[in-house]
Structure 1
Amino acid sequence: MILIGIDDTDNAESPGTNQLAKAIAKEVARDWKCERIVRHQLLQDVQIPCTTRNGAASILLSPRFGLDEIESQMLSLVHQCRELMKRSFAPGSDPGICVTSTENVTECVRQFGFRCQFEIVSMNEAIQVADKCSIHLEGLGGTNGGMIGALAAVGLAATGNDGRVVQIGEWIDDLTGTQPIENILSRGVLVRNIDDDEPISDGTVTLDKKLRPSLRDNRIVLFVQKHRVGEASSGYQAIRFQ
């Protein structure tokens, strides 16, 4: 499996980092299958430049080719991602990209990701961690500060226990509104009651704008809560986490 992290690619008027992550998955789809795209919430602080809420994105890919081709295909993947981001990132942003095999994402990378959620870290620290673990990390413009979030996204994604899933596999459309729970289950999403953590397979769920489940224990999980009395009688409300 391959993980890509991207960060700081947009400005207030441009499409967001999640949309660029989806474009990357589409761009490389001939050779790589998208398993999931996840938004990861990083620290919000006045000292950290960001467009809105300082979220980074990770893309998990699996190869469509023989593993003996992995080295050459990885080089091609980095090139494709780099060129697409150079064409797509917004003026005034400071984009960074990280590309690595999941095997290279060690505990120090995961801990780096956690730190980026609670404290300010430097670009030099990101570079040192990436070098230590033989992870490809580069900046593509501006201050290159997006390298920090790009590496953090990879570390957090590798935990299998962080973030909000914005694309499931190769389903590029979003479910919206009130949906039968069977429609959500059909996309490989586990639906659980947030009050008792029990799985739910019947009824309907009202989504918060779009289907945005969470990544928990390497499973894609939508947490829901029973509608209160006086609301839709047999349905559930989706709970949306950061």
Structure 2
Amino acid sequence: MRIFVAMDDTDNLNSRGTGRLARDTAEAIMKEFHVDGITRHQLYVHEDIPFTSHNSCAVIHVEAREVDDKEWLFETAKECMLNDFIEGSDPGLAVACSDEVVPPLIAFGRDAQRVVLNQEKARGLAKNLGIRLEGLGGTEDGVIGTMAGLGLARGGNDGRYLLCGRIRELMGPAEVEDFINAGVDAVYTIDGHELSEGHIIVEEDKFAKACPVDGRKIIFVENIDGQYHAVKRG
């Protein structure tokens, strides 16, 4: 059973980002459950929307055993977030099973990437769908991006992975086989060719950013002067 743990607006300009907190939270969750990955989703950047740097949210993808595991996941994530609360942040947290993320919530996620939304819409949607949503400090505006994250993660074709198998251990260039063994499903060129072998150039001290595509973890590369370079998308 796939359960999504979504969080947003957990940082300020002088603190670590939401992605780092999501990875720390995932470590706590891994003590009880398998974490399939963490995705980052870009939201709308607009002068009427307060955000720290890029206005993105993070979603932890958990393989759970039963519906009741949602409560443990929520309380564990909540504890991690409150223990690391940053003044000036406005965090939100939501947890939902895959089958609870229905079309209206997926549409809400897409809307959050192109228009200004408000807490009332996010909270109303959560109430109607029976999804547990909480603001954990500040203005609690993070509830908007949190709900959007659930919809975008469930859609399976948005954002990029902050955590995906052991891919963060591959810092710098590596072979296609290394990425597959680390947990990526496939490597594709941006013009549509799947690579079964080859050397991939990745920026030094960086890791390749896989993207979710129809439920698969894909690394995209571009051929530049006969060499394949990892491309960051999402």
2: distance between equivalents of 1:185 and 1:84? 31
Equivalent position SS for 1:118: coil
1: distance between equivalents of 2:211 and 2:72? 31
Match for residue 83 of structure 1 among 79, 84, 93: 79
Q: What amino acid does structure 2 have at the position aligned with 1:60? A: H
Q: What amino acid does structure 2 have at the position aligned with 1:146? A: G
Q: Within 5 Å, which residues of 2 pair with 1:95-114?
A: 95-114=91-110
2: distance between equivalents of 1:136 and 1:8? 17
- In the alignment, is residue 138 of structure 1 matched against residue 134 of structure 2? yes
Detail structure 1 runs of 4+ shifted over 4 Å in the superposition: none
2:195 alignment partner in structure 1: 200
The runs of 5 or more residues in structure 1 that have no matched partner are none
- In the alignment, is residue 20 of structure 1 matched against residue 21 of structure 2? yes
- In the alignment, is residue 213 of structure 1 matched against residue 205 of structure 2? no
Match for residue 176 of structure 1 among 163, 167, 171: 171
CA shift at 1:172, angstroms? Answer: 7.5
Equivalent position SS for 1:143: coil
Q: Within 5 Å, which residues of 2 pair with 1:179-190?
A: 179-189=174-184, 190=186
1:223 alignment partner in structure 2: 220
Equivalent position SS for 1:157: helix
- Which shifted more, 107-116 or 74-83? 74-83
Q: What amino acid does structure 2 have at the position aligned with 1:175? A: L
1:158 alignment partner in structure 2: 154
1: distance between equivalents of 2:198 and 2:224? 11
User: Percent of aligned pairs with the same residue?
Assistant: 34
Q: 1:50 to 1:166 in 2, by over 3 A?
A: same
2: distance between equivalents of 1:118 and 1:210? 29
Alignment RMSD, CA only? 1.3
Q: 1:172 to 1:75 in 2, by over 3 A?
A: farther
CA shift at 1:175, angstroms? Answer: 2.0
Q: 1:222 to 1:173 in 2, by over 3 A?
A: closer
CA shift at 1:187, angstroms? Answer: 2.3
